[in-house]
Amino acid sequence: MSNTTQTINEQDQKSVTNKRYLPLLLVNYGFLFIGSLSSSLLSKYYFNHKGSSRWVSTWVQSAGFPLLIIPIVVPYYLFKSTQRKPFTGFTPKILALSIFIGFMLGVNNLLFSWGNSYLPVSTSSLLLSSQLVFNLILSVIIVKQKITFMNLNCVILLTLSSVLLALESSNDQPHDVTKTKYFIGYLATIGAGLLFALYLPIMEKVYKKVYCYAMVMEMQMVMEVAATVLASIGMVFDGGFTEMKREGYQVFDKGEKVYWATVVSNVVSWQLCFMGTAGMVFLTCSLTGGICMTALLMMNVVGGVVVYKEEFGGVKVVSTVMCGWGFCSYVYGMYVKNKMLKDRDDGGGGGHDSDDKNVGSYNPIEMTQIVNSSSSSSPLHHIGV
Taking only the tens place, the pLDDT of each residue in 179-194 is 888 889 889 998 998 8
Q: Tell me if 155 sits within 8 A of 132, measured CB to CB.
A: yes
Output the pLDDT for position 202.
Answer: 92
In terms of C-beta density within 10 A (0-12 exposed, 13-18 middle, 19 or more buried), how is residue 87 classed?
middle
**pLDDT tens, residue by residue, 80-103:** 777 788 888 888 998 999 999 999
107 or 15: which carries more pLDDT confidence? 107
CA distance 269 to 254: 20
Output the pLDDT for position 169.
Answer: 55
Closest CA to 288 of 372, 206, 371: 371
Give me the residue spans of the domains in the chain.
1-346
CA distance 108 to 102: 10
CA distance 57 to 310: 21
Q: Tell me if 358 sits within 8 A of 139, measured CB to CB.
A: no
pLDDT confidence band for 274 (50 / 70 / 90): very high
CA distance 373 to 385: 19
Output the pLDDT for position 271.
Answer: 94
Output the pLDDT for position 208.
Answer: 82
Q: Distances from the Cα of 232 to the Cαs of 64, 160, 238, 239, 344, in angstroms?
A: 13, 37, 10, 10, 54
Output the pLDDT for position 100.
Answer: 94
